[in-house]
Amino acid sequence: VLFRSAGGGQGTRNHGNLTACTTPQAVSVMADSTVVPHHIAIVMDGNGRWASRRLLPRLVGHKQGVESLRRCVRACRERGVRVLTVFAFSSENWNRPQDEVSGLMELMAMALAREVPQLAKEGVRLHFVGERAGLSDKVRAGLAQSEDATAHNTALVLNVCFNYGGRWDIAQAAAALAQRGEPITEASLHAAMGMAHVPDPDLLIRTGGEMRISNFLLWQAAYSELYFSDRLWPDFDEAALDEAISAYGARERRFGKTSEQIQAARSA
């Protein structure tokens, strides 16, 4: 893996230093010169269907989803992705049957206890993004402990959006600014939101075949490249990830400019 430094934020060979609002960072390039996104975000959808197709309870699908996430985290790290953001539980998922909701909460607590020591060893830094109020004391404590245990890691930032909604995030940021009597601008809102510690996602993947955003990163996905996979999340393996990354590499990110401008900047 070769590291190439790009002048402006999420720069790749496709968009040089055209992005505003992000800090300079290195961009990794795979051995075959495929551009690797700095930040990948994923709507991990399809766990329930994966289980139902096997005549298994939906929760078995969610457990398999944790396995798939472990594999994906490792694969991202190996490919030089620096930030991975996953949607694990939405503000709207509370509307599911009570036993599925409580199963998901228990699974989160269990998965943290089991996975965090290894993640800590692998250099992964965990952040949980979402509303903490409304979660049980046990889950809240698990999130805080996991963040503390991995706070010094730098290989990969893993943001887990849990009890998260894009609308909630924008509204809570605006409320915080109003409370402090600060002006509401794009920059101040961005800084008050749950994802202020990372640049916006370059590539947003949704598995499970649905082509919708479902209240995921509404603000931050403004210029993300969207990629939809028919694979159910438990089946989304390294090969599927590589397909998404190479599709990303073939995109031309224009950020409002013309293709000619992009080409000219690239050859300059």
Residues identified as active-site:
45, 93
Residues 6+ apart with CB under 8 A from 81: 28, 36, 37, 38, 39, 40, 156
The stretch near ligand IPE (CB under 6 A) out of 40-48, 67-75, 112-120, 148-156 is 40-48
47 is a contact residue toward ligand IPE (CB under 6 A) = yes
Ranges within 84-123 binding ligand IPE (CB under 6 A): 87-90, 93, 104
CA dist 40 and 83 (Å) reads: 6
214 is a contact residue toward ligand IPE (CB under 6 A) = yes
CA dist 37 and 30 (Å) reads: 10
229 is a contact residue toward ligand IPE (CB under 6 A) = no
CA angle, 72 as apex, 35 and 207 as ends, to 5°?
A: 85
Cβ proximity to ligand IPE: between 60 and 88 the closer is: 88
At its nearest, how many Å lie between ligand IPE and the CB of residue 133?
A: 19
The torsion angles phi and psi of 157, rounded to 5 degrees, stand at -90, 125
165 is a contact residue toward ligand IPE (CB under 6 A) = no
At its nearest, how many Å lie between Mg ion and the CB of residue 232?
A: 9
CA dist 53 and 32 (Å) reads: 37
- Chain contacts with ligand IPE (rule: CB under 6 A): 43-49, 87-90, 93, 104, 208, 210, 212, 214
